[in-house]
Structures are given as structure tokens and as C-alpha cells.
Chains A and B, each alone.
Chain A
Amino acid sequence: MDKKIKKVVKQTEFYILCIIIVFAVIIQIRSGQFFTSNNLMDLVRSMIVPGIYALCALLSFVSTGADVSFPLIAALSAYIAVLAGNTWSLGVVPVFLIAVITGCLIGCINGFFIVRYRFNSLIVTLGTSSICSGILFGAFEAGRTELPEKLYALSKVNIATVKNESSGLGSALPGTFIIMIVLYAAAYFILNYTMVGRSVYALGGDEISAERAGINVKKVRFGVYVVNGGIAAIAGLCYAMMSYFYMPNEYAGAEMLVIAAVILGGTRMSGGIGTLKGCLLGTFLLTMVSNSLILFGISVYWEKVVVGAIIIIGTAISAMQAQRASNPFAVRRKKEA
């Protein structure tokens, strides 16, 4: 039992949870609005899309390195799916299928360049996201688009609604929440209980060892980027469903915050380490900060300052932890030499 507690205390997730609780309590004391049903519901609502994006970021960080293309993959594949859905008045499932297939195809481009030529994943994904934005705005001249009828009907369905008696504010949990839960459950199962999932971690931890252990490194890495494209596409459609319209300009720029959230959640940039729990907590923390600053009594103008400061402090702590963790090794190695 004692060991278990020690192990929990050592994890980054534990610290994030502490910070979340401290923030929550302070906000509650200052405004009395935090632990209200509608505020919590709003928080969950606004972390759905970043939460799904966080899966992409986690997968790419654990296996290779940064991926910044997911918002634009999301935008492009969602647009193609919405367009196809509108022209052929498709149902919900075909629309999602088209989105996922498009996303996977764009993911293939990422995977091809990263695996075949071993380029820095950040640079490659920057390139593909630029290509996607060129196709989206240049070739398709995408603008605000209405969703296909059936998808629109589905997006109006809420799985739960709450109403705050004292303030009269209500908020609803959209059906996309279920999509997020399903994706996380699937990711949890695959990452922890299947050969493929374990090889993703192995590959990020030490590529040569993974190869020696019989893992097809290239295949796994390529697969990760293809899957990333698919997940991003789902997130793109979810985003469109939650705003009831497809708006192409709203997608770009989400990547930085998501990456920050994932890193805050304890994912190591150098690969091999990272959990879904941390992902969710990190996303929750950043969503909470940007959503609750007003409750905190801080002007909205300060949002970016606070978020930036949290990213810097959070990453500094985890970077220094990693440094300390690797230090004893260095000393030992020197002695052996």
C-alpha cells in the first residue's frame, strides 16, 4: 500500500490533479460559481474537441515527435465529408466514414515522409498542414457551410441537460461526448492490452531495441500517423456538429494548446512515455483555465498570459524532473567507464 501511494505521488498526473483541485477551490471561493452543474457541464463540453485532438498529439509524441497537422486535417476532411453529405444527402455513418477515410489518406502523406525519409515530424506536419489549408481555401474555397440534414438533426440531440437553479443558466452535453468516450476507451484498450499499442510505446522509448524485439518499426509508425489522420477527421466533424455549422476558419491554431495540454499531462517529448489519464487531465486543466478566468476575476485580456505561464511552468517542472531522473544514470555510467 505504501509503495502504491509513493508511486502515485511520483506521477505527473498526480501533480496536475492537485493543481486542478487547487484552482477549482480558489475559483469556488472567489466566485462561488465553479461547482455548479452548468459550469462543470460547460467545461466538459468545451473539452470534447481538444480532448479528441489530444489523442492525436499523444500518439504522435509517444511514437515519434510533434504532430501539428491535426487541426487542418480535421478541417479539410470534415469539409469534404460535409460537402459529399450535402450533394448526395448522405446519412450520418457515410459522412463519418468519408471524413475518416480522407483523414487517413492525409495521414498517409505524413506517415510516408516521416517513415520513408526519417524527417523531423514537426517540419513534415507543418508542411502537410500548409498543403491542407491550401487545398481547403484555395481549391475548395471553403466557407461557412450547412451540415447535411441528418447530421444536423443528430447534432441537435443532447444526451443530458442541466439547469442551474440559482442563476437560471442551463447547459447541455452534446452527443459528441459519447464519441470522445468511445475513442478514449478504444485507445485505452489498444494502447494497454494489444501488441500494437505496446509497440507504439516501445518504438518511442528506444527504436533500436524495438526493432531488435521484432517490432516492425516502420509499419507501426506509419500506422500511427494514418490513425492520427482518422482521429483528427472525427474531431473535425465533432467540432462542426457542436457549432451546428461547418466553419473552416475556426480550426487552425488549435494545435499549440492541445500539444501544451498533452505535455502538461506528463507526456515526454522525447517519446515512449505518456498516458491517456494525463492527456485528459492536462486538457481539463487548460480548458478550465481559459474558461474560468472570468470567474476568477481576471480580465479576459490576461488569458494568453496565464495559459503561457502555465505551459512554461508546467513543462519546466516536468523537464527538470526528467533531468533529475536521468542524472543518477549518468553518474553511474561515468563510474563504470
Chain B
Amino acid sequence: MDKTIGQKKKTLPFDENVRRLMIILVVLLIVTGVTKSASFVNLSNFQSIGKQLTEYGLMSLGMGICMISGGIDLSTVYVANLSGICAGLIFQMNLPGNVAVGCLAALCVGLLCGAFNGVLISYFHIPPMLATLGSYELFMGISVVLSGGSTVSTQGQIELLSSLTLLNIPLPFLIFIICTVALVCLMGKTKFGTRTYLAGTSEKAARFAGIHVNTTVIKCYMLSGLLAGIAGLISLSRLNSAKADFGTSYTMQTILVAVLGGINPNGGAGRLSGIAFAVVILQLLSSYLNQFPTISNYYRDLIWGAALLLVLVFNVKISQKSGKKKD
């Protein structure tokens, strides 16, 4: 706890890790600008970057919250698919007001799935990784059953959600920023946030401090589910279709983003603002690599994996150094 108090006393707005990420982002922007200025630094490219990062950015935020509470949520991608499919099916029904109902249903499905995860983890004491592993099979199965194993397509009823731009900023990116700001406030300024950090640091201590750990954990997973639901809607509007096994590689990516963003996978530490920067950095890098047609897309896996391990090592080294300084 000493550490967090120390951090709060600092006058700089972000913690050390986030500042480091910001520096990386600036360096990256300069490098990309210098080497590929014509094709990279233009409005449409940045707009597409902004659109692409929203889906897994939202899921990573959810993953981050769950990690802070001491767990992990492997099911986000499938929750997103399930809510996308539900919304798509309702859109197909041709009822009055079905677009609004569909969107609402997607969000509700997200919340419900999250609550289901939360109950499994808190009341049944299933380790988070296993619970979400099982529920991801379950959610994927339900999606397969609902969609009959095929793609659910829509006629672009909510196309606006992904195509609209306000002041040249794509709407999905705006949604991402709004969600990030709201969640950063939620985790940093409210009782719920503090409780989540405490529950992640030590469940037992939180219990003895009189916190309803179970309720807190359920809320975390519900938040993650809700974010996944929004991501599902955005992906539905972008692709005009939803499928049970869409975006399976996002699971790995969300964990990577959360860890890159400085969230401690063991729980109790990390700032959500770091995740936002990590998402932007990842998507920038990934688009930058796309500029080189000779580099296979699969190299991205290699780079992400290596980056994950390197960042982990780097974080350890940094914390060792600062630990020594204090002594």
C-alpha cells in the first residue's frame, strides 16, 4: 500500500509505466513518420487505425479490470461474438424498433455472460482461468447453436456506428476513448475501484476489511462482459456479419495489451490508462508493419510474443532498480 500512496503524491499526472508508454508512442510516431511519411501519416490511415483498435481495445480494458481483481477473462472474445450474433439475429427479424432492441440485447447478453463468469469465480470458487475457459466453450457453443454454425449477416442497420466520423475522428475510436476515460475514473476515483485493487492484492485482507469480495468480483466480470458486448456490436456494424469463431486470436492480443499496459497479471496493480496507450502502440506498429508487403503478417505473432516477454522482463528490472533506490 505504501507504493500506491507514494504514487498519488507525485505531481505528474500518470504513473511511471504510462509515461514510458507515452514516450514509446511518440518515438514510434516519429519513426513511422520519417520512414514511411507519405503512405503512413495521412488522415485516412489514422482513421483506419482508430477503427481497427476499438474492438480489441475495449476487450483489453475488460481484461485489465479482471486482471486487477486478481483474475483473467479468457471468454471476452466469445462474449463479443455471442452478443454480436444475438443482435444480428434480432435485426433480421424485421420488427418495429428491432435495431434498438438488438443493441440493447447485445449489451444485456454481455452483462449476463459476465455475471455468469463472476458467479462461477466468486461463489463456486473456480479458478478464474478455468471458469472463463469453460464458459468460453459454452458461449462459443451457444453462438454456434444460435447461428447454426454459419455467419449471421445484417443489412447494415447499424453501419453508422462504425462509419460515422465526428470532426474526422471515427465514432468507434470516440467510444473507446469515452469508455477508457469512464473506466479510469471508475477505477481511480470510486469506492468500487479501490475495492477491486484491494481484492486483487489480497482477497483475504479485503474480506477482513469488510469488503464484499464476491460482489466486487462479479461487478468486474460484468464490466468486462459489457465492454465485450459493445465490442461485439461495433464488430457487427463494421463487418455487417457475426460469426461464432470470429477473432479467436484476439484472446492472446488482449492479454498482451493488458500486460504491456502495465497491469500486473497477479492482480492488484496497474492503471487502465496504460492499456489505452498500449492498444494504440500495438495498432500503430501493426499498421506500420503492413506497409512492408515483404513482411508476412504472421511475423506479427512473433513480435507480439517477444514483446510480451521483453516487457515483462523490463518491468521486473525497473521495479528492482526502484526498490534498490528506496533502500
Residues 112 to 135 of chain A near chain B (Cβ within 8 Å): 113, 117, 119-120, 122-124, 126-135
Q: How far, in whole Å, are A53 and B141 apart by their CA atoms in the complex?
A: 23
Q: Can you name the residue of chain B whose Cβ is closest to the Cβ of A257?
A: B137
Query: Closest CB of chain A to B263's CB: distance in Å?
Result: 11
Q: Is A137 an interface residue (CB 8 A)?
A: yes
**Assuming the A-B contacts A303-B141, A308-B134, A316-B126, are A137 and B305 also in contact, with contact meaning beta carbons closer than 8 angstroms in the complex?**
no
Residues in A with CB closer than 8 Å to B105 are: none
**Contact: B141 with A263, CB < 8 Å?**
no
Q: How far, in whole Å, are A130 and B253 apart by their CA atoms in the complex?
A: 10
**Contact: B130 with A315, CB < 8 Å?**
yes
Q: Is B188 an interface residue (CB 8 A)?
A: no
Residues 259 to 273 of chain A near chain B (Cβ within 8 Å): 259-260, 263, 269-270
Q: Is A194 an interface residue (CB 8 A)?
A: no
* Partner pick for A311 among B130, B145, B148, CB 8 A cutoff: B130
| B124, B140, B300 interface centre (most CB from chain A within 10 Å) | B124
The 8 A CB mask of B10-23 against A (1 = contact, 0 = none) is: 00000000000000
| B134, B297, B308 interface centre (most CB from chain A within 10 Å) | B134
Q: How far, in whole Å, are A269 and B128 apart by their CA atoms in the complex?
A: 11
**Assuming the A-B contacts A133-B298, A301-B149, are A308 and B136 also in contact, with contact meaning beta carbons closer than 8 angstroms in the complex?**
yes
Q: Is A191 an interface residue (CB 8 A)?
A: no
Q: Is A10 an interface residue (CB 8 A)?
A: no
Residues in B with CB closer than 8 Å to A316 are: 120, 124, 126
Count of residues in A whose CB is under 8 Å from the partner chain: 47
Q: How far, in whole Å, are A124 and B134 apart by their CA atoms in the complex?
A: 21
Query: Closest CB of chain A to B58's CB: distance in Å?
Result: 20
Q: Is B282 an interface residue (CB 8 A)?
A: no
**Contact: B301 with A131, CB < 8 Å?**
yes
Q: Can you name the residue of chain B whose Cβ is closest to the Cβ of A137?
A: B298
**Contact: B145 with A301, CB < 8 Å?**
yes
The 8 A CB mask of B296-323 against A (1 = contact, 0 = none) is: 1111111111101100110010000000
**Assuming the A-B contacts A312-B120, A320-B124, are A130 and B312 also in contact, with contact meaning beta carbons closer than 8 angstroms in the complex?**
no
**Contact: B131 with A141, CB < 8 Å?**
no
Q: Is B176 an interface residue (CB 8 A)?
A: no
Q: Is B266 an interface residue (CB 8 A)?
A: yes
**Contact: A305 with B138, CB < 8 Å?**
yes
**Contact: A263 with B130, CB < 8 Å?**
yes
- Chain A's interface: helix, strand, loop or mixed, by majority? helix
**Assuming the A-B contacts A253-B248, A315-B126, are A130 and B304 also in contact, with contact meaning beta carbons closer than 8 angstroms in the complex?**
yes
Q: Is A189 an interface residue (CB 8 A)?
A: no
**Contact: A138 with B299, CB < 8 Å?**
yes
* Partner pick for A308 among B140, B302, B305, CB 8 A cutoff: B140
Q: Is B255 an interface residue (CB 8 A)?
A: yes
Query: Closest CB of chain B to A108's CB: distance in Å?
Result: 13
Residues in B with CB closer than 8 Å to A320 are: 124-125
**Contact: B296 with A120, CB < 8 Å?**
no
**Contact: B301 with A117, CB < 8 Å?**
no
* Partner pick for B145 among A126, A127, A139, A305, CB 8 A cutoff: A305
**Contact: A302 with B141, CB < 8 Å?**
yes
**Contact: B308 with A259, CB < 8 Å?**
no
**Contact: A269 with B140, CB < 8 Å?**
no
Q: Is A22 an interface residue (CB 8 A)?
A: no
**Contact: B312 with A119, CB < 8 Å?**
yes
**Contact: A117 with B316, CB < 8 Å?**
yes
* Partner pick for A135 among B120, B139, B256, B302, CB 8 A cutoff: B302
Q: Can you name the residue of chain B whose Cβ is closest to the Cβ of A141?
A: B296
Residues in A with CB closer than 8 Å to B130 are: 259-260, 263, 269, 311, 315
Residues 112 to 140 of chain B near chain A (Cβ within 8 Å): 120, 124-127, 129-131, 133-140
Counting from the closest, the 7 A-B pairs by CB-CB distance are: A134-B302, A304-B141, A308-B138, A130-B305, A308-B137, A305-B141, A311-B134
**Sample (7) of A-B pairs whose CB atoms are under 8 Å apart:** A113-B312, A119-B312, A123-B259, A138-B296, A263-B130, A308-B136, A309-B134
With A134-B302, A315-B126, A315-B127 given, can you name 7 additional A-B contacts, CB distance below 8 Å?
A: A117-B316, A122-B72, A126-B255, A270-B127, A305-B138, A311-B134, A320-B125
